[in-house]
Amino acid sequence: MHSFPQPALALVDEMTKAALADPAQAVAFQGAPGCNGHRAALEFDPDCLPLPCFSFEDALDAVKEGKAARAIIPIENSQHGRVADIHFLLPESGLYIIGEHFLRITHALMGLTEGPFAAAYSHPQALGQSRHFLRERGIVPMAYADTAGAAAFVKEQGDPAACAIAPRIAAELYGLKIVDEAVEDSHDNTTRFVVLANKPADADAIKGHPAMTTLVFEVRNVPAALYKAMGGFATNGVNMTKLESYQKGASFSATMFYADIVGAPGQANVDLALEELAFHCKDMRVLGTYPMARQRG
């Protein structure tokens, strides 16, 4: 399946036409209208024209093809960790990270009736963020492409035993009843989004502001390579706020690392740290330098 449920199509068509008429103002996001990506786009730039895309790849392609100037993509959640596949998609996209946005996440349980419900549809991240709530009620989690799309799917199927976990606005858009609110297991639930474009962020947008830099790298396959590669950040006083590994290919012998650091190339300590990192790496790429949206530490 690679299309939106019928109840969402009219809204998708309307928003797509508006965005394609003015690509410079368009921000592509993954999901049906009313999803958290839609909310994030409007919070990041209230004047933007949100462009709904079925998959993350579609949202990134919309920028590469000039249909939208930017895409906003969830990368990690405070409760459920990183968003699946993003670490592969971002380096492969050829796009640059030009911004970040933190979105407070709250989920509502919605359906055609007030229950009881046998199954709940939503994005795997939202299901994971609400797993205790669902388990306590004996509701089976069912993965769907996005939260709001799940709400539209429940409306389309017409099954009174099915419900969706989605932002409150999805119930209004697709004519569902809100049965319970704030069903996420942790009430400081937050998702970090990154904003991507075809060109790096303008230096003037970063100058004078705290900056973040995101990079991916593969260390040489020798003992203590990662330890030595990390040494440059410590000795040069560069704060690394995130470091995650993921496998490259099926051999399990090549490990890629995704990292966020505080600072920007051009700063002496950052340049020295990156120079030392590159010495110990087979491959290193900076995915973007952008204004820090929230202080670390």
* 3 has a pLDDT exceeding 90: no
Instruction: Report the 10 Å Cβ neighbour count for 160.
Output: 15
Tens digits of per-residue pLDDT, 41-92?
Answer: 999 999 999 999 999 999 999 999 999 999 999 999 888 788 867 878 888 8
Do 264 and 214 meet the contact criterion of CB atoms below 8 Å apart? no
Tens digits of per-residue pLDDT, 245-262?
Answer: 888 766 666 688 999 999
* % of the chain with per-residue pLDDT over 70: 97
Residues 50, 126: Cα–Cα separation, whole Å? 21
**CA-CA distances (angstroms) from residue 98 to 143, 161, 221?**
30, 43, 31
* 127 has a pLDDT exceeding 50: yes
Terminal CA-to-CA distance of the chain, rounded, Å? 42
Which of 224, 206, 220, 193 is closest to 270 using CA atoms?
Answer: 206
Cis peptide before 116 (omega within 30 of 0): yes
Do 13 and 32 meet the contact criterion of CB atoms below 8 Å apart? no
3 state SS of 197: strand
- pLDDT, residue 297, reads 64
* 1 has a pLDDT exceeding 50: no
Domains in the chain with CATH codes: 6-104+190-197 (3.40.190.10), 108-181 (3.40.190.10), 203-291 (3.30.70.260)
Which of 15, 3, 293 is closest to 173 using CA atoms?
Answer: 15
Residue 241 designated active-site: no
Give Cβ neighbours of residue 100 (< 8 Å, ≥ 6 apart): 192, 193, 194, 195, 212, 290, 291, 292, 293, 294
- Tokens 């839609």 belong to residue: 38
Residue 106 designated active-site: no
Do 82 and 152 meet the contact criterion of CB atoms below 8 Å apart? no
Tens digits of per-residue pLDDT, 265-277?
Answer: 999 999 999 999 9
| Token pair in block for residue 268 | 């002496």
Catalytic residue among 16, 191, 214, 289: 191
| Token pair in block for residue 133 | 């709530």
Catalytic residue among 4, 193, 233, 257: 193
